[in-house]
Amino acid sequence: MVLIMAVLCLTALSTAGLAADASKNQLLDSYKGNISQKEIIPVDMLSLFGPPGYFFAETVKFKAPKPGWKLNGVQMYGWDGFNGTLESIPAERVIALEVRDKDLNLLYKFADSQLPYSNYVRNATKLYPFTIEIPSIPVSDDFYVCFYDRGAIAVAGERLNETGQNSFLYIEPGNQLLPANLPVGENETLPVNWIMSISGN
């Protein structure tokens, strides 16, 4: 009985410690204001750019709140095409996430099936927030979070307004950044910010 009580106490202390660590996390958004009041649009990069789109990443520039700030999670809004029917169940594909410093040097890379983050798994038939947890990655000054949807998830963006543009298309070959200006017609583009939030401490 004493042993059981001791284990329960240790478990409670461990859980309290994790909760305390989580509460120390600071959230940074790629946008300002209330997300529910924004017009957000899902953007299928693959349909925009064709097969070379596999080299494009939806990328957001953030600024570390302090030197050595540790990034530990990324949240985005997306949709994988699931609309509640058997025909719309998504095929498994591989998505990737990168963290790069201000000079675009690679700090961290993650790849996984999109299914654990998909609308289908959550039975959601519209844009849905999904979170990718990562090991604590120290960042300083400006840094970039790059997400390769690879045609698996249509990532949400906001029409550029008072927020100011901090979103890009990162092109892996050539290590290039382009403003996230999306074609919407002949000789017309729409600047957007990707809807992305990050956490760290």
Q: What is the mean pLDDT of each run of 10 residues along the chain (201 residues)?
A: 32 34 80 77 65 75 95 93 88 94 96 89 82 96 94 87 78 88 81 93 96
- For residue 193, which of 153, 148, 157 has the smallest C-alpha distance? 157
Sign of the dihedral defined by the CA atoms of residues 167, 168, 172, 176, in that order: negative
Q: Can you give the pLDDT at residue 50?
A: 52
Q: Within 56-195, where are the H helices? A: 119-122
Domains along the sequence of the chain with CATH: 28-200 (2.60.120)
Query: Model-level pTM?
Result: 0.82
Task: Report the C-alpha gap between 53 and 153 in whole angstroms.
Answer: 13
pLDDT at res. 81:
85
Residue 92, C-beta contacts closer than 8 angstroms, at least 6 positions apart: 113, 114, 115
